Structures are given as structure tokens and as C-alpha cells.
């Protein structure tokens, strides 16, 4: 059981790292001369990368962009809270009640990052012929899958008596 708990802890740490990288790093949408994330845009001019604001208006609606930003940050917060609750529940709750709250926090993190990535997919870069989704965008979807798996593991582990 100790090995299982250590593996779950490591999975949760990996979830947090992926969520933080996806939220902070500047590679949600890329071209040869531009890199955009949910916070800003980097444009290459004369071989130098310059920080610029994300343009307002179509196709970058501020409401959708703020929804993506808020959902990404909430996913990070919920996942970090979940690991603290996981550690606290190991020492305070009875065996049949243990990982429910941790699973709930991971499920909320899963929903938040799914909402962020879904809005970004639906509302941004639809009509741009050049460019591709960057590694942060891909990490957001991987983090979605891992947080979902983690939340399921917590709910299943709640039933264990050992």
C-alpha cells in the first residue's frame, strides 16, 4: 500500500508540474516568427524575440481569453490544494473516508484545464492557415488526462481498507 501511495503522490506532482508549465510557458500557438500563450505574444523581429500584448478584438476576444486564463490558474490551485489535502488525509481521517476530498480537488482541476483547453481550441486560431499548437497546449491536454486518471484513482482508493 505504501508503494501505491508513493506512486499516487508522484503522479499528483507530475500533474501539478504539467499544469504549471501549460499555464506559464509561452507556447500555446506558434508560427516560425511568433509564439503565443494565454498571457502574451512573442514576435521575432530581426532575429530578436520581442514581448507584445495579445491583440484585442477578433479573434482574441478578451472574455474568452480571460476565461482560459482563469480556468488554467484555477486548475493549478485545485491541484496544489489537492496534494496538501492528500497528505493531511493520510494522517487524520479513517480508512474508509480518506481520499474523497483529494479526488474532488483533482476532478475540479481536471474540469478547469479541460474548459481552458476547449475554449482555446474553439475560439482562437481557427482561421489561421499557418501555425501549429505548441507544447504548452499539448501539455494542457495531457494534464487533463492525468488529472482525470488521478481523480479516479483517489475515488477508487477511498474504498480500500488496507
**Domain CATH code at residue 13:** 1.20.140.150
Residue bearing the bigger pLDDT, 52 or 158 = 52
CA 81 – CA 89 distance, rounded (Å): 12
- Domain of 128 in residue numbering reads as 2-157
1, 9 contact by CB (below 8 A): no
Query: How many angstroms separate the CA atoms of 96 and 160, rounded?
Result: 7
pTM of the model: 0.89
Total domains, the chain: 1
> Does residue 162 lie within any of the structural domains?
no
- Look at residue 133 in the predicted model and tell me its pLDDT: 92
Residue at 99 is within a domain: yes
Q: How confident is the model at residue 99 (pLDDT cuts 50, 70, 90)?
A: confident
Q: What percent of the chain has pLDDT over 70?
A: 93
pLDDT reported for residue 116: 95
Residue 85 lies in a domain: yes
Amino acid at each position: 500500500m505504501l508503494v501505491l501511495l508513493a506512486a499516487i503522490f508522484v503522479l499528483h506532482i507530475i500533474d501539478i508540474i504539467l499544469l504549471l508549465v501549460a499555464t506559464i510557458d509561452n507556447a500555446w500557438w506558434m508560427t516560425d516568427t511568433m509564439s503565443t500563450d494565454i498571457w502574451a505574444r512573442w514576435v521575432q523581429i530581426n532575429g530578436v524575440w520581442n514581448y507584445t500584448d495579445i491583440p484585442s478584438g477578433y479573434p482574441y476576444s478578451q472574455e474568452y481569453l480571460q476565461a482560459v486564463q482563469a480556468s488554467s490558474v484555477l486548475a493549478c490551485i485545485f491541484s496544489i490544494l489537492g496534494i496538501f489535502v492528500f497528505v493531511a488525509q493520510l494522517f487524520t481521517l479513517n480508512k474508509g473516508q480518506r481520499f474523497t476530498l483529494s479526488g474532488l480537488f483533482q476532478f475540479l482541476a481536471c474540469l478547469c484545464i479541460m474548459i481552458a483547453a476547449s475554449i482555446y481550441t474553439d475560439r482562437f486560431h481557427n482561421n489561421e492557415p499557418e501555425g501549429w499548437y505548441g507544447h504548452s497546449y499539448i501539455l494542457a491536454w495531457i494534464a487533463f488526462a492525468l488529472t482525470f486518471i488521478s481523480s479516479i484513482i483517489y475515488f477508487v482508493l477511498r474504498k480500500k481498507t488496507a
